[in-house]
Amino acid sequence: MPPLPSVSATVVGRSAISPPRPFAWASSCRPSFRSGRAANQFYVRPFIEITGFSGGGASDSQALFGIGGGLKIPLRDRIASRFEANFAHTNGSDMIGLLAGLSFYTR
């Protein structure tokens, strides 16, 4: 069975303070290599994030590109935990990160 893509776009942060206002936007695609949710699954997740600030006559932004890989472990019928290690690059600097999260399924 071919990988099933899962695409998400998330506004990471937006501030209501006076200008300049910081912002962050992130998008990723997490393909599943199995169609069932009842078994543990390994995944690979490429992502991009754009951060910066705008307003008050000044603005700046930078892009961050990365890839992560991890394990999704089902907890219940519609909930799974995710554990991931990732690598990201922006403007000549590299970052390594760890992520733990939950996946909620609507169907």
Q: Per residue in 89-103, pLDDT tens? A: 988 889 999 989 888
54 part of a folded domain: yes
60 part of a folded domain: yes
Q: Per residue in 56-100, pLDDT tens? A: 777 788 888 999 999 999 999 889 999 999 999 988 889 999 989
Q: What is the pLDDT of residue 91?
A: 84
Q: What is the mean pLDDT of the chain?
A: 77
Give the pair of three-digit tokens for residue 99: 């992520």
What's the burial of 107, exposed, middle or buried (CB within 10 Å: 0-12/13-18/19+)? exposed
2 part of a folded domain: no
Q: How many Å apart are CA 75 and CA 71, to the nearest integer?
A: 13
> Per-residue pLDDT for 2 more than 70?
no
H-only helix segments in the chain = none
- 77, 68 contact by CB (below 8 A): no
80 part of a folded domain: yes
Query: At 62, which amino acid appears?
Result: Q
Domain hosting 18: range is 7-104
Q: What is the pLDDT of residue 89?
A: 92
How crowded is the C-beta side of 56, counted as CA atoms within 13 Å? 9
Number of folded domains in the chain?
1
1 part of a folded domain: no
